[in-house]
Structure 1
Amino acid sequence: MQTMKVAICFVVAMLGSAVTDMAGECDMAGFYLELGCTPVPKADNSSICPDAFTCPDLHPNSTMCYYRGAPYGERSTIPQNLIKNPCSLACRCRVSNGEPQFDCAAVDCVETFNSDLQQCVNTFELDSCCSTGTVCGTDAIAKLKTCDVDGKTYKEGQIFEPLNTRKMCICTGDWNGTVDNAYCRDINCGLEIHYQNKILDNCAPIFSGKVRDCPIGFQCPSTTSKVIRGLNLRSSTAECVFGNLRMTVGDEITVDEKCMKCSCNVPPFVTCVTQNSC
């Protein structure tokens, strides 16, 4: 019995690690996992990165707001202990013209306005949105311990995001190069909080460069949106939905922004990426 318990714990640990790696290493994985979607594994198990995801009904009732599967009526507030993003505070549901959305309190971090301070280091705590302290002066800064991560050096108390992870970490004296819950937490984009109505309307998340980061906005359908049929090289049967349009993998959708490409890559959401070179 003890051997069986050890085996089960090992499997659970491996699954947890796989989800973490998937969010940091696979396009759109972090986006879908935050929404509670389930990955559809590749048939040949050639990669941890899925070809598609299966999502629950994110809006069973269009007159309600939803967060992590729970419904919120007009003027209802999400309990703060349930919100996974420390920068989202006092989020209340509002339904206007049939469009549900959450309104949250504005958070203004002092470091945003004092980013040019010389000889100072802003320090953070793991669950803080803004900096919680400041270390100034050459001698005081020299006494801070450092963390070498992905070719960069961070001072004790500074935040960083290790490559190929979906984590935000804080440099501490205990940093040993591994992503540990003692000084790292999952990055939560607040998708349902900030883009409630966009998700309801089957709009497409917009990414600037990496499709593993948080989206910078959403592209919604217009009267001129058209599907450009492409090659489904993966022979995937999964479909993307963009408004009322349905697409297969490899298809693109026309948008007014010439420096943005929107296509069906990892269903069911269309993915839009801004072209920096343009």
Structure 2
Amino acid sequence: MKMHQLTLTTFKMKQFGVIYLLSALYLNVVFGEKNCDDLGLNFYRSIGCKESGKENGCPSYDGCQYSQPIGHCTYQGQKIDKGQAVKDVVKDSSCSFGCICTAADGEKGSFLCAQGHCGIDESILFGKSPNCFLRYSLDQCCPNSEPECAEESPATCKVGNEEFKEGKLFSPKDKCITCLCTKDFDGKLDGPNCQPTPCDVEVRHSQDIEKNCAPLYFINSKKSEALCCPVTFVCPSKIDVIKENDTKSTDRVCKYGLKTLKLGSTIETENDSYGKRKVHCECVSPPLMTCTMSY
């Protein structure tokens, strides 16, 4: 009897251990300990790439083939006809003004954008009631031109240790998500108040993307942080120092110009778009290299 009880107890402990391990792995992915946004995946979503699978709990986009078509344009995977404005087709809060698709006969489409800005700032609230605020929306860059005022104080939205005022667009720390603070915000980042952070890199860098140049992100430190929208692109040059990964057995590769580099390969180079700065690139999330430089 005692031996039977001991065997049963040992079995239950092993069973509990397996359940605990599976639960821990599940919670690790679902509740954010694994931050997929530090891989630069938001960029692939923003140019209309479709998921090709999963890799360590994160989406993969290995099969993404980007090209502007003959005779019209695409933006976030949506077709834009010649002469059509981007914002007539895709609504988001990115701030490229008056962008239209231009396409000469028999040539690939490209975007032409106007120079502009909102022309509105918080100074218009000076002297007004503290209960007045400017209201933004998830599908526009600029807030309403006239402030909203109420008898009671505006609502606030709290996410983690951060607090935001009603009407404001905000991005939770280390997440490629843009949210709008409203009275009914329930704190859920996958609800109607939030959307993936829109990137408008296609209107300025469609040719760079098509040439397999690498998206370049600013970072504050070498620690893991969200890589949401590239500030520019790194294209192959003579000063690139490429270190190919010859030790790791993998079928996953990144394109860099005409080169194909295995997962884990790196490039050290420079970029002078914001003053000459050192740039580190690595094949971490195919199909393109991912590059970073410090502020």
- For residue 240 of structure 1, report the CA deviation from its aligned partner: 0.9
- The answer on 1:101 being equivalent to 2:110 is yes
RMSD: 3.6
Tell whether the 8 Å contact from 2:72 to 2:80 is kept in structure 1 after alignment: yes
Match of residue 252, structure 1, among 266, 269, 273: 266
Give unpaired runs (5+ residues) of structure 1.
Answer: 1-16
Q: Which runs of 5+ in 2 are unaligned?
A: 1-28, 220-224, 272-276
Aligned residue in 1 for 2:188 = 178
Residue of structure 2 aligned with 1:55, choices 59, 63, 73? 63
Counterpart position of 1:191: 201
CA shift in 2, pair 1:108/1:60, >3 Å:
closer
Mean Cα deviation higher: 105-114 or 248-257:
105-114
**Deviation readout 1:71-129 (Å, 9 max, x if unpaired):** 668x5334533224343444233479x88631123331124695996867433123221
Structure 2 match to 1:37 = 50
Q: Does 1:240 align with 2:259?
A: no
The CA deviation at 1:22 is 9.1
Determine helix, strand or coil for the equivalent of 1:196. Answer: helix
> Higher mean Cα deviation, 28-37 or 192-201?
28-37
Q: Which moved more, 1:246-255 or 1:198-207?
A: 246-255
Residue 134 to residue 203, structure 1, CA distance change in 2 (3 Å) = same
Tell me the secondary structure at the aligned position of residue 58 of structure 2.
Answer: coil
Bigger CA radius of gyration: 2
What's the offset of the Cα at 1:227? Answer: 2.0
Q: Deviations over 1:129-179 (max 9, x none)?
A: 11214368xxx6971121122212222112211345432112111122113
CA contact (8 A) 2:78 2:89 kept: no
Supply the distance in 1 between the matched residues of 2:206 and 2:172 (Cα, whole angstroms): 29
Mapped to 2, the partners of 1:95 and 1:254 lie a distance apart of 36
Match of 2:75 in 1: 67
CA contact (8 A) 2:68 2:206 kept: no
- Change over 3 Å in CA distance of 1:176–1:63 after alignment to 2: closer
- Contact preservation (8 Å) 2:73, 2:79: yes
How many residues are aligned here?
Answer: 248
| CA distance in structure 1 between the partners assigned to 2:98 and 2:70 by the alignment | 22
| AA aligned opposite 2:176 | R
Deviation (angstroms), 1:206: 0.6
Residues 1:270 and 2:273 aligned together: no
Kept in 2: contact 1:84–1:188 (CA 8 A) = no
Cα offset for 1:194?
2.5
Q: Equivalent residue for 1:27?
A: 39
The CA distance in 1 between the partners of 2:33 and 2:200, in whole Å, is 20
TM-score (norm 1): 0.72
* Displacement after TM superposition at 1:267 (Å): 1.3
What SS does structure 2 have at the residue aligned with 1:30?
A: helix
The residue that corresponds to 1:218 in the other structure is 233
**Equivalent position amino acid for 1:259 in 2:** K
Structure 1 pair 103/180, CA: closer, same or farther in 2 (3 Å)? Answer: same
After TM superposition, the structure 1 stretch with the greater mean CA deviation from structure 2, 178-187 or 238-247, is 178-187
Change (3 A) 1:202 1:22: farther
Q: 1:115 to 1:93 in 2, by over 3 A?
A: same
Whether the 8 Å CA contact 1:24–1:212 is kept in 2: the answer is no
Q: Displacement of 1:205 after TM fit?
A: 0.4
Q: 1:261 to 1:115 in 2, by over 3 A?
A: farther
Contact 2:125 2:133 (C-alpha < 8 Å) held by counterparts? no
